[in-house]
């Protein structure tokens, strides 16, 4: 009986592995066109990286052409990483890395030469001589698992992490995945990582804070639950004191506590409704219908008409519809000047503001919905109201 149970448990895993092998073999055999020059460059680079880096199974998938990136992704990768290598030859900038790639398409050959020069030095090291660290290996395994399950279109993020790790030998190996994410969000503000691995996600959630709504800032049209975590628009404006910090135009409220140091993370259930989520500077005006954007002290994402997702920069930055979340994670690193937004359900990056914060920031929440609640949550307190109709409103 015990053997039958063990066979039952092992068999599904075996079937999944076999199906994956068949799928990869079929995909490889059905490849309609040979690799172009840039794709072949990435394949060769993965071979060089895999030769010296221990536990680099993900690189084998690329070097064996099991995972072939789109041409545009290959070009972007080559230009970005040539820029990174070039920056190491110049005096270090504020955080040591270029804000963005200044390379142009006509510099592609120069970019390849720069990477090849670095790879030549890499080849001089003994085979399997570089240990990337336990944290990096765990992240690579996580990436590989999700790629095999079809949750990641390519292993580009894994190759980026290996490349970044080998370039930054002086960094603490235990912190590399987190520092890599921070750098990615600085160099690529929109959709920097299609999937955030467990270790990095846990690090983000470790900054979780309890956030509640400040009734004295809420627009009089808003209904706030007794636990000060749920809000929606009402049918009748309440007669409340019109404090100077209260919104009287936009249907918004801010969190009870502001932040001027450290890391903080909170979550918001937004569903499919129109919403506004982010932070606002303590000195920002809240009266009337003046634009709530970076010029007026607001850093936020807004969903309009359920289909238009925007970062409210000046001018606004339109975001792909594919990034529209139902649950938003908001991560603030005050010291590094980063405000990042994540799709909690997909565990993916949406957008990052990179600023210099010089005053207290308050969580911002806005909604225009009458029949649905916007719900403020935080890691460690994920309880849900099982009977929404029985919530008591203030």
Model pLDDT for residues 304-358, shown as the tens digit of each residue:
999 999 999 999 999 999 999 999 999 999 999 999 999 999 999 999 999 999 9
pLDDT digit string (tens) for 48-63? 999 999 988 999 999 9
What is the structure's pLDDT at 83? 87
* pLDDT confidence tier of residue 2, bands split at 50, 70 and 90: very low
CATH superfamily of 215-379: SPRY domain (2.60.120.920)
Q: Tokens 């139902």 — which residue? A: 326
pLDDT digit string (tens) for 170-229? 788 889 999 999 999 998 999 999 999 999 999 999 999 999 999 999 999 999 999 999
Task: Give the closest residue to 181 by CA, choosing from 202, 196, 159, 166.
Answer: 196
pLDDT, greater one: 175 or 20 = 175
Helix, strand or coil, per DSSP, at residue 281? strand
| Domain range list for the chain | 9-192, 215-379
pLDDT digit string (tens) for 128-172? 998 999 999 999 999 999 999 998 999 999 999 999 999 887 788
What is the structure's pLDDT at 15? 59
* Cβ burial 289-319 (10 Å sphere, 16+ → b, else e): eeebbbeebbbbbbbeeeeebbbbeeeeeeb
pLDDT digit string (tens) for 268-305? 999 888 999 999 999 999 999 999 999 999 999 999 99
* pLDDT confidence tier of residue 384, bands split at 50, 70 and 90: very low
What is the structure's pLDDT at 238? 87
What is the structure's pLDDT at 99? 43
- Round to whole Å and give the CA distance between 258 and 12: 50
Query: Is residue 360 predicted with pLDDT exceeding 70?
Result: yes
pLDDT digit string (tens) for 3-18? 444 444 444 545 555 5
Give, to the nearest 10 degrees, the angle between helix 176-187 and helix 156-167: 110
What is the structure's pLDDT at 84? 87
The helix (run of H) or strand (run of E) holding residue 277 is: strand 275-281
* pLDDT confidence tier of residue 88, bands split at 50, 70 and 90: confident
Give mean pLDDT, residues 81-106.
61
């Amino acid at each position: 009986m015990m053997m039958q149970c063990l066979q039952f448990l092992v068999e599904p895993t075996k079937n999944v592995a076999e199906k994956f092998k068949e799928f990869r073999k079929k995909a490889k055999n059905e490849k309609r066109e040979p690799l172009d020059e840039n794709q072949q460059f990435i394949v060769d680079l993965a071979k060089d990286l895999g030769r010296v880096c221990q536990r680099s199974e993900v690189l084998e998938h690329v070097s064996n052409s099991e995972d072939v990136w789109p041409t545009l992704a290959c070009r972007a990768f080559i230009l970005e990483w040539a820029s990174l290598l070039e920056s190491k030859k110049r005096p270090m900038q504020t955080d040591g890395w270029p804000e963005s790639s200044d390379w142009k398409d006509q510099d592609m050959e120069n970019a390849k030469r720069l990477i090849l020069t670095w790879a030549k030095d890499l080849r001089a090291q003994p085979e399997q001589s570089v240990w990337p660290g336990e944290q990096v290996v765990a992240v690579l395994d996580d990436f590989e698992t999700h790629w095999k399950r079809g949750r990641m279109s390519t292993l580009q993020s894994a190759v980026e992490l290996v490349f970044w790790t080998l370039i930054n030998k002086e960094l603490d190996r235990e912190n590399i995945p987190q520092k890599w994410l921070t750098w990615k969000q600085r160099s690529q503000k929109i959709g920097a990582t299609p999937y955030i691995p467990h270790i990095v996600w846990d690090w983000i959630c470790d900054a979780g804070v309890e956030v509640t709504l400040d009734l004295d800032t809420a627009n009089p049209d808003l209904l706030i639950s007794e636990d000060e975590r749920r809000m929606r628009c009402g049918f009748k404006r309440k007669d409340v004191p019109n404090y100077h910090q209260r919104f009287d135009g936009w249907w918004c409220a801010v969190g009870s506590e502001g932040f001027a140091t450290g890391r903080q993370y909170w979550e918001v259930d937004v569903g499919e409704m129109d919403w506004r989520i982010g932070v606002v500077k303590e000195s920002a005006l809240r009266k009337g219908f003046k634009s709530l954007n970076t010029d007026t002290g607001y850093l936020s994402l807004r969903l309009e008409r359920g289909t238009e997702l925007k970062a409210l920069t000046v001018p606004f930055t339109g975001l792909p519809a594919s990034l529209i979340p139902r649950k938003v994670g908001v991560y603030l690193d005050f010291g590094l000047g980063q405000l990042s937004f994540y799709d909690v359900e997909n565990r993916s990056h949406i957008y990052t503001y990179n600023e210099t914060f010089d005053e207290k920031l308050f969580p911002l929440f806005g909604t225009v919905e009458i029949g649905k609640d916007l719900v403020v949550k935080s890691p460690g307190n994920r309880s849900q109201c099982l009977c929404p109709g029985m919530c008591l409103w203030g």
